[in-house]
Amino acid sequence: MAKTRQGGGGAPGSGVTVRPMRGDSAEIAAVVALIRGAFADYIDRLDPPPSAVRETAESITELLGRELGLVAEIGGSAVGCLFLQRRESGDIYVGRVAVAGAHRRGGVGRALMAAAEAEARRLGGRRLTLGVRLALDGNRRFFQSLGFAEGALHAHPGYDRPTWVEMTKAIG
C-alpha cells in the first residue's frame, strides 16, 4: 500500500497522510499512547471498560504480527490508527480505530477508513466489519455516515445484555 493523502485546501482531512505502520519501536510507542489516550476518553461511558486502555508495546507488536496496521499522520505525528484482519469468511475486520481527541471531527477518521476500504479491496475482501459499543452513539453515527449498517447485537463475556453492535459495509 502506498501512502495516501486525504483532503486539501483546508477541507476536512487536509494534511492527513495514511500509511502502513512500520513497526519500529518509536512508532509502536506512539501508537500505544494514541490508542490508550483515545479509548481512555470513553472509560466513564463504557461497561465493561475498554480493553484498549491496557495496550502495551508488546501487545501492539504482537497485533502487527498478524494484522495490518495503518497510521494517520499530520505533520509527521501519529494522530490516528486502525488495524485490519482478514477473516476466514473473506471479510476484513477493522479494529482498534483510534483518533487523538484533538483531531476528532477533522477528517482523520474518514481518511483512515477510506484507506482501510482501499486496502480491503486490494486484499479481495467482500466487506468490512467492525464492532461499536452501543453506548457510543456518535461513533455509530460516524460509521453509518460511511455506509456501514448495524447488524447483530453482542454481549461481552459475563454480561446478560448487549453491549456492542456489529457493523458491516459491502465493498466487493
Residue 139 counted as domain residue: no
* Residue with more model confidence, 3 or 159: 159
Residue 101 counted as domain residue: yes
Residue 167 counted as domain residue: no
Residue 153 counted as domain residue: no
Residue 168 counted as domain residue: no
Interval 105-161: pLDDT, tens: 889 999 999 999 999 999 999 999 999 999 999 999 999 999 999 999 999 999 999
Q: Do residues 54 and 112 lie in contact, with contact meaning Cβ atoms separated by under 8 Å?
A: no
The reported pLDDT for the residue numbered 172 is 72
Give the burial string for 140-168 (b: 16+ CB within 10 Å, else e). Answer: bebbeeeebeeeeeeeeeeeeeebbbbbb
Domain count, the chain: 1
- Could you tell me the CATH number of the domain that includes residue 59? 3.40.630.30
Residue 114 counted as domain residue: yes
Residue 145 counted as domain residue: no
Interval 63-114: pLDDT, tens: 999 999 999 999 999 999 999 999 988 899 999 999 998 899 889 999 999 9
Residue 158 counted as domain residue: no
Residue 147: which region, alpha, beta or left (left: phi > 0; alpha: psi -120 to 50)? left
Q: Is the pTM of this model over 0.75?
A: yes
Contacts of 20 (CB under 8 A, 6+ apart): 1, 68, 69, 70, 71
**What Rg do the C-alpha atoms of the chain give, in angstroms?**
15
Domain membership of residue 111 as a residue range: 4-126
Contacts of 163 (CB under 8 A, 6+ apart): 47, 48, 133, 134, 135, 154, 155, 156
